[in-house]
A and B are shown apart, each in its own frame.
Chain A
């Protein structure tokens, strides 16, 4: 049974990817597949919105790092927006606040 973990909105300037739910190893492959599909064609800015995500683990962070590298490789920018405190803390432990533009 596949859960809906990603929704997207795009225009010429920005692609916004909103993720949903508690994300861990069991959803990392599905997230990776969805991100690769969404990132086939990208505008200059990609925003990953985590407002609806209360938990991520290192497998999800690894998937997002992979996405960051894809976007940068194509000359774009990716940032993460609307982190909850728990998720921000996880990115802080991984020392990834700055690469993902998390305040």
Chain B
């Protein structure tokens, strides 16, 4: 596992390029010792500020693509991951940037390739069962995050941590097909899977 150093708020005081340098450094460290068949794992730790969301996406995109997820599956994984991290910032830490969020990103192999993303916080615990989604036919701002996580992932599990906070596990596996964004192709794929 590799750590990314978490300097104090780099996005606020440094040029945007530094986030990519940090990500590149983490990815180099993670890649160097990997041998054939080794399941890659990366750990990030950063403060509960939305400034780190681009860095999180950058690293997650890399591990998704490496794990063999399609473009569509990668996009949906990143979307769900960002929604999860946003929920931690907003609800577990009430919008304060002083908490810590850890994210562990792992490649999965059997039974199908994919990724497992584990988000850890020490904020207020909110069980998924207590979160109310909303009727999507009701056109109003807000309330979409949970629906997006549910729609985009194969598995979402949340448990309380000893000592306070939450452990949120997100799993996305490759489903085959061409991973196309073309809605007609996706409909055709769904129909074939149902047969």
Q: Which residues of A contact B (CB under 8 A)?
A: 1, 22, 24-26, 55, 57-59, 61-63, 65-66, 68-69, 85-86, 88-90, 92-96, 99
Contact = CB atoms under 8 A, between A and B. Distances in A.
Interface in B75-133: 75-76, 78-79, 82-83, 86, 89-90
B128 to A, nearest CB: 16
A94 B148 contact: yes
Interface stretch (B25-33, B137-145, B163-171): B137-145
Contacts of B152: 93
Interface of A is mostly: helix
Interface of B: 12, 49-51, 53-54, 57, 72, 75-76, 78-79, 82-83, 86, 89-90, 136-137, 139-142, 144-145, 147-148, 151-152, 181, 183
B181 A86 contact: yes
Contacts of A88: 181
A95 B136 contact: yes
Nearest to A1: B12
B78 A24 contact: no
Contacts of A24: 50, 53-54, 82, 86
B181 A57 contact: no
Contact of B181 (A1, A68, A85): A85
Given A57-B79, A85-B181, A89-B76, A22 B54 contact: yes
B103 to A, nearest CB: 15
